[in-house]
Chain A
């Protein structure tokens, strides 16, 4: 149902409907901004990433179809790749820092999406806590920093050949933990 609504919005955007573009912005800006912020860790950068994503959408760069899965997932993937590009450009000037997870009080639960997101976030965070420190670091470097396997090997100090296996193991562990929880939760 919700998916259908997104697909309709997307199709209207492809037909250059400005109102639809604005609606999509209102619906997703906060989610995408927060995700981009987690990756690039500065407000101006996160805004730039979101803007880039919106421009890509408006200009029809990258095409969504329902067989690509959920619209939100697709949008988040574009955002992640855009943020990784941004990070790579920045890398030349700044040495990156591993950011500590900061828990801050949520300001105000907004729309339905935001509530669902917060809820889901809590569960993923819970599951993350069951991972080893090194596994959390590997997920952060790989997923949120977009590091190559080689750079992860250097940073975590493990043999290059084992990196892929380690990322996969960490993600699998996380997923198992989540499914476990989901069963309890449902």
Chain B
């Protein structure tokens, strides 16, 4: 029995897990009767709670909007995701790739039913679809955040038209805790251009206390390769920041920004655990 997994039951119950954690926990569930029982107890104990909601009148036109988006989601799926789905199918089965028409409509349901005997494959397919959706959502969220910051910035520019040396925000992203149960803290990564330089600014707050030589270190991740963006410590309130000159880098391909907790400052490669990260 993995005690470590058993402790995560509540996170699972509240849907607070990343995809891979969720997958690991579901695997654990299969072998841990105690957790299965406890989970169904939680489900039973909370089954009446939704009924505490007061009856609310849905806004006008909601049905039309929602259903339109439901139908559209299907079109998008067929246009953009069908090839990927086919790939999934192909990976799992040796038979030739089915035509998209075969996948849509009743036949798809039949296919799913025939797979039902093999729960693993089924949940793997589902997992992939979920991950795809999550990534799309995160990208959308990031775009939204960028728009918000851009418009804030424009407003700021208007106020400060006389000022000089204004930094231009190129990209901004939130850094969220990699595991809320283990680490507190949040932060932001902002890429600004000022006086012909491009800088990355990583700011954090609410971080857990450091011990001994420990330091936080920011990383720019290109593909699989992390590049150090500098070490920093925090004040007694858990606030800290580091600035890194991106324009000195040979190329500035950035896939993700992350913050790790390192045993000592200025490592070449991360040794410690990732505490904060931007959405991938």
Contacts and interface: CB of A to CB of B under 8 A. Distances in A.
A37 B125 CA distance: 31
Interface residues of A, number: 73
Contacts of B95: none
B249 interface: no
Contacts of A79: 50
Given A38-B52, A143-B49, A61 B14 contact: no
Contacts of B24: none
A171 interface: yes
Q: Is the interface of B mostly helix, strand, loop or mixed?
A: helix
Interface stretch (B28-36, B63-71, B159-167): B63-71
B53 A172 contact: no
B205 to A, nearest CB: 12
B19 interface: no
A2 to B, nearest CB: 16
Nearest to A38: B53
Contact of A124 (B11, B51, B69): B51
Contacts, number: 159
A124 B57 contact: no
Contact of B15 (A50, A144, A146): A146
A115 to B, nearest CB: 10
Interface string A5-44: 0000001001110100110011001110111011000010
Interface hub of A11, A51, A79 (most chain B Cβ within 10 A) = A51
Given A80-B50, A139-B49, A148-B181, A55 B63 contact: no
Interface stretch (B101-109, B195-203, B259-267): B101-109
Given A15-B106, A149-B10, A22 B67 contact: yes
**Which of the listed residues B67, B74, B129, B130 has the most CB atoms from chain A within 10 Å of its own CB?**
B67
B45 interface: yes
Contact of B70 (A51, A73, A104): A51
Given A21-B70, A84-B14, A146-B15, A175 B45 contact: yes
13 contacts: A15-B105, A37-B53, A43-B59, A58-B73, A81-B14, A92-B174, A92-B176, A120-B48, A120-B51, A121-B53, A121-B54, A150-B180, A174-B48
Interface of B: 10-11, 14-16, 42-59, 62-63, 65-67, 69-71, 73-74, 77, 104-106, 108-109, 112, 122, 126, 129-130, 133, 141, 145, 148, 174, 176, 180-181, 184, 186
